[in-house]
Amino acid sequence: MQNRKRCFALLILFSFLNISAAQAMRAGDYYYFISERCEARGPQEPEKKAAVTPDIRLFDIVPAGISDYYVKMNTRALVDYAEEGQRFLDELAKKQAYTAGQSADNPQETHHDFMLQREAIDLAELIRTLNVFSQRQTDTGYFYKKLLTLADDTARFKAVTRVRLTDTGVENALYLTTFTSEYFRLDDDGNAAETAFITVDHAKAIARHLHRDDSPYASYVKKGVCAEKWMPADTSEQGD
């Protein structure tokens, strides 16, 4: 009986370790590379690859405990945003919450979710935030038109900013699936609408400057972008 209990405990521990290993990430700096859901595309020879790949750091992964992580997005890659908008997103990241789990669509993939913001804000705060998020007239025009549909200047919103990184199984690579700020209208009882009133897609804002529209690689960043962990050059094989 004692042996059976010991075996059962070891089985539980083994299962836990397996789950933890499957959901583990590698800490470090992650840079954009041309891919289709992290499957490499384009030239792979180092010089030719470097010539067509923008040298852009997308995010850093920092361990924050035994099985916890912290993501630091490179907000400087949001070149359309005002500096206040970049700083605002940096400030949100200081109190983030991390969770991980298998993808419902593909059990071989793991989603790493970072909740940067979940709070209620008023209309004035929403307008101030949207003003610093983008300098592109197409975006500010869209925001302006949406705000004009509001008949109530006392409207309140649930603000949710989050990042999702997906491990697709490619070693040392993570797929930036989501980096958004969503604003859900709150009713008189404080309940949030199911559909966001306004969504700001920060990942899309980063992706739009990675390749020109006429680039053969532009289509690969329409739904998300991938980053690979920066690895220092191996000097062990270099001569004296």
Summarised one tens digit per residue, pLDDT across range 19-32 is 344 468 889 999 99
CB 192 within 8 A of CB 184: yes
Cα–Cα dist 1/35, whole Å: 53
- Range 175-198 average pLDDT: 96
Cα–Cα dist 70/61, whole Å: 6
Summarised one tens digit per residue, pLDDT across range 42-96 is 898 989 998 999 999 999 999 987 779 999 999 999 999 999 999 999 999 999 9
Q: Quick check: 12 pLDDT over 70?
A: no
Per the DSSP assignment, residues forming a β-bridge with 119 are 159
CB 153 within 8 A of CB 125: no
Mean pLDDT of the chain: 86
| Percent of the chain with pLDDT strictly greater than 90 | 66
Highest average pLDDT, of 14-28, 116-130, 143-157, comes from 116-130
- Residue 1's pLDDT band (cuts 50, 70, 90): low
| Percent of the chain with pLDDT strictly greater than 70 | 85
- Range 119-132 average pLDDT: 94
Q: Quick check: 110 pLDDT over 90?
A: yes
State the chain's maximal CA–CA distance in angstroms.
Answer: 74
pLDDT at 5 (0 to 100): 44
Q: Quick check: 166 pLDDT over 70?
A: yes
pLDDT at 25 (0 to 100): 86
